[in-house]
Every structure is written in structure tokens, then in C-alpha cells.
Chain A
């Protein structure tokens, strides 16, 4: 194996390790220790729709700064997220989030009229700032969140998988009825590979690999803060 291939492989292993460690962090543990009630599930669902919207902002910025072939990869990635797969009858992910909300007794208006969590808004701004940094840092900042949601990479189940299991356990809502979570459990397996595709072509120097690690590390930090705010929000609800 060449020095570059070794460098990419060891960078990838580091990223996977960080994603797994995310689940052992205090904010993630606090979130997973929460018991879902109907009201908590409703607020969690709404705030997660805002998170999905923020992802669309960030991927747009990343698409802007990336080289042409990577812009094309991102464009395809955003098809699932922003438009859906019409040929397969699959809705975009925002629509899915709103449709899933019906299971928790939410109307579409609830998603429009509920304010964003203050701490969430601050995290969204931080992610946007990261998305506007040099492109390798920026893309790592967005792609790492999909690695963290890949059940292939996360040993005891991805974030969507674990939340889905909690909703089943606490409210008796099966994964089949959680159409948004179910979609992400599948789609993020594929999306998680995006960063590897980028790395194979562009992480050919130590400094490029350091840039990817820097962006990923910062994004995971924001992610921990965000999950902590969600846990706090739910703890304050009956």
C-alpha cells in the first residue's frame, strides 16, 4: 500500500473512531437517557426538521466551494435530501420529516410556527461558518455527520437507529411508522461513503488530510453541543 493510501486509511479509521466516541460523550449519553413522551417526541421531531434544513444550507455552501467533480457528487446527494426520488415515489427528506410528525400528532403548521431552539440556532450558525471555510474542512464538517449516522460504521447503531428504537420502546411507534428515521438509517449508509470518495482523490497530502480531520473534529464538537441542547429541551418538557 502506498504512503498516500496508508495516510487515507489511517485518517478514515480516525474519523470512524471519533464518530463512535461521539456516542460515549456526556451530551449524547444524556440524550439517550431521556425517556420520550408524546410532547418530547413532538418537539424533538420539529427541531430535527430544522437540523435537516440547516444541513441543506451547509451542503449548498460546500457545493459552492468544492471542485467541479465534487460539486456533481454533492448535487446527486442533495437530490435525495432536497427533491426526493420521484421515480421511486420517495419524498424529499423535509417532507418526510413533516409526514413522520403526523405519527406524533403534529400538523405541518407546527413545523412552520414553532421557533427554533436557541441553542440549536447557535449550533446552526456554527455549522454554517464551518461550511464556509476552505472546501476540504467544509466538506468534512458536513460529511462526518452522515458517517456518524451510518450503522455500518457505528458499532451499536447510528443516531437515527437509536432514536428510532427509543421511540419504539417509549411510545410504541415502530420503525416502519417512523418513515424519516427509517429512510435515514438506509440512506446514510450510502451517504457516509461520500467523504471517502473525496479523500481518495483529494486527500493526497498530509495537509489535505489534516484539513479533513480539522473540519470533522469541529463539526462533531458542534454536534455534541447540539445534542446536549436537545437533551436539555426534552428534560424541561413533561
Chain B
């Protein structure tokens, strides 16, 4: 197996392993109530904003061809996703209406301390790492949401199922989760193509793995934090 094929296989294993971690299991086990659902949806909007920060930083350090791919990627996220007719932040705010959230709830939301630490950690990788590690760190969060790779479905799909099973709100009504089930599959495939072009040596591969490992560790901490805060809501 060539270097890149082997690498992609390893990345696939890593995103599947996320769902076996104690943090992910605990997070997905917390029963949803309407209050917890509201907390989650607001937090998800903040997470989306953090993604925009990180992809911007990665665009800053990446080679020109990769900058262009990221710019296209950010078109859906930041400006307009034709699947939804709006950018992804607006989409998340719109999704909130289904569970009684207003735009002010998003604007005035505070970032809880453990979540804040995770956001700063992702910023740190995006700003300070070699571009291949930084790029992979952001990419892995979309790969982890890709239902073609993650057995049992990516995070958006699983959360959509929880909203349906536990609150009776179908995935179709959770418009942001619904769009991300498809969007992140496409995004992770487009972004993944860059590995074919830029991973030529074992050093390149190690940079990719470093970025992947670091981002997945933060992702586990982030999901663990969300699970913890949701449990505090009665």
C-alpha cells in the first residue's frame, strides 16, 4: 500500500475510534431534554464560528493551491451553501427556531470554560503548526462527520437521530445537522484530495498524523465538556 493510501486508512481508523472514546460515549449517552438541546445548538454555533477562525488561519499558512481549495470550502460555510440557501452560521441560528431559540440567544451566549480551552487549543494548532498539520487538524473534524467513513454515521447524523428519538424532532427539521450530514461528506472528500498532492515523504505523513492526533484529542475533550455541561442541566 502506498504512503497516502495507508495514511488515509489510518485517518479513517482514528475518526471511527473517536466514537469508542469515553468522552464521545458519555456525550452521546446524555439524554436530550429541550433545555439541553438548546444548550447544544447554541454551543454548536460557537463551534462553527471557531471552525471559521481555524480555516482562516490555515488558509494563511497553506500553499496557494490549498488556499484556493479552502476558499471554495469557506464559500459554503461563510457565504452561501446552495444546499441551504444561506451560510452555515445563519443556518444554525435558523435551526434554533425549531427549539424556541432566538438570534439573541446565540449573540449573548457565553463560551463555557472547558469549551473555551478547546477552542483556544484548536486556534493554537491552526496558527502555530506546520500547514500540513494545521490543515489536517481542521479536516479531521469533517472527516469525523463523514457518514461514508464513520460506521454508524458521523456526529451530525447521530445527533440528528438523538433529536428524533428523544425529542421527536426529525432530522429534516434540524436543518443545520441535516445539511452537515451531506456537506461534511463532500468537504472531507474535497479536502482529502490535497493529501495526494502534498504528502510525498514520511516527514509529510508524520505532520499529517500529528495534526490529526492533536485535533482528535481536543475533539474528545470538547465532546467530554459538552456532555459534562449538558448533565448539569436538569
Contacts and interface: CB of A to CB of B under 8 A. Distances in A.
Interface in A52-84: 53, 56-66, 68, 71-72, 74-76, 78-79, 82-83
A72 B57 CA distance: 14
A75 B67 contact: no
A63 B56 contact: yes
Nearest to A61: B60
Interface residues of B, number: 26
Contacts of A61: 56-57, 60-61, 127
Interface in B87-102: 87, 89
A57 B56 CA distance: 10
B16 interface: no
B39 interface: no
Contact of A60 (B56, B72, B78, B89): B56
Contact of B57 (A64, A76, A79, A94): A64
A132 interface: yes
Contacts of B59: 60, 63-64
Interface string B50-75: 00111111111110100110111011
B78 A64 contact: no
B68 A83 contact: yes
B221 to A, nearest CB: 21
Contacts of B52: 64, 68, 71
Contacts of A60: 56-62, 67, 70
A75 B87 CA distance: 13
A212 to B, nearest CB: 19
A65 B53 contact: yes
A56 B64 CA distance: 8
B58 to A, nearest CB: 8
B207 to A, nearest CB: 18
Given A60-B61, A94-B64, A132 B127 contact: yes
A82 B68 contact: yes
Contacts of B49: 68
A194 to B, nearest CB: 16
A101 B127 CA distance: 33
B127 A78 contact: no
B126 interface: yes
Given A75-B71, A75-B74, A132-B127, A64 B64 contact: no
A65 B68 CA distance: 19
Contact of A57 (B54, B55, B61, B78): B61
Contacts of B13: none
Q: Which of A71, A72, A76, A132 has the most CB of B within 10 A?
A: A71
A192 interface: no
Contact of A82 (B55, B67, B126): B67
Q: Which of A62, A64, A72 has the most CB of B within 10 A?
A: A64
A58 B60 contact: yes
Nearest to B126: A64
B110 to A, nearest CB: 17
A57 B71 contact: no
A195 interface: no
A131 to B, nearest CB: 7
B43 to A, nearest CB: 16
A60 B78 CA distance: 14
A94 B62 CA distance: 15
Contacts of A59: 60
B34 interface: no
Contact of B78 (A71, A82, A94, A128): A71
B217 interface: no
Interface in A166-208: none
Interface of A: 53, 56-66, 68, 71-72, 74-76, 78-79, 82-83, 94, 128, 131-132
Given A61-B61, A128-B60, 12 more contacts: A56-B67, A60-B67, A60-B70, A61-B127, A62-B60, A65-B57, A68-B89, A75-B74, A79-B71, A82-B71, A83-B71, A94-B64
Interface of B: 49, 52-62, 64, 67-68, 70-72, 74-75, 78-79, 87, 89, 126-127
